[in-house]
Amino acid sequence: MKVKKGILDILKGKFLISGDAPKNWLFIIFASFLAAVMISSSHSADKKVHRIAALNEEVRELRSEFVDARSDVQQLKLESTITKTVADKGLFPSETPPQKIKVTSQKPIE
């Protein structure tokens, strides 16, 4: 019978108006504050998770762009590509290999 009466008192809210009500009100305010802090930290963590996911996606895209640019540059540095480019301007590779020039005297040039 006491359990039933205790449950009814809680449902009716008698614990909020009884003699030790200020103690109950302080606990309710404290529990509400803790719940608000918990909800706030949960939202903050969710924002950070979404930001990290967006940054990871951006890193993947930038890495892909870097790989594409690097392969383009490597293609442009090939001798065959350079030969084709300068051939349009009238320059062709030499048929005879270059020769070394040896200087035998150490006279200063005047």
- What string of pLDDT tens digits covers the 110 residues of the chain? 777 777 787 777 776 777 777 777 888 899 999 999 999 999 999 999 999 999 999 999 999 999 999 999 999 899 888 888 888 888 888 888 888 988 887 776 66
DSSP character string of the chain: -HHHHHHHHHHHTGGGTSTTHHHHHHHHHHHHHHHHHHHHHHHHHHHHHHHHHHHHHHHHHHHHHHHHHHHHHHHHHSHHHHHHHHHTTT----SSPP--------PPP-
* Residue at token pair 């020039």: 101
Domain membership flag for residue 48: yes
The structural domain count of the chain equals 1
User: What's residue 5's pLDDT?
Assistant: 76
Q: What pLDDT score does 109 carry?
A: 64
93 in any annotated domain? no
* Residue 47 structural domain: 2-87
pLDDT of 110 reads 62
Residue at 23 is within a domain? yes
User: Is residue 103 one of the residues assigned to a domain?
Assistant: no
Q: Is residue 109 part of a domain?
A: no
CB of 35 within 8 A of CB of 42? no
pTM of the model: 0.54
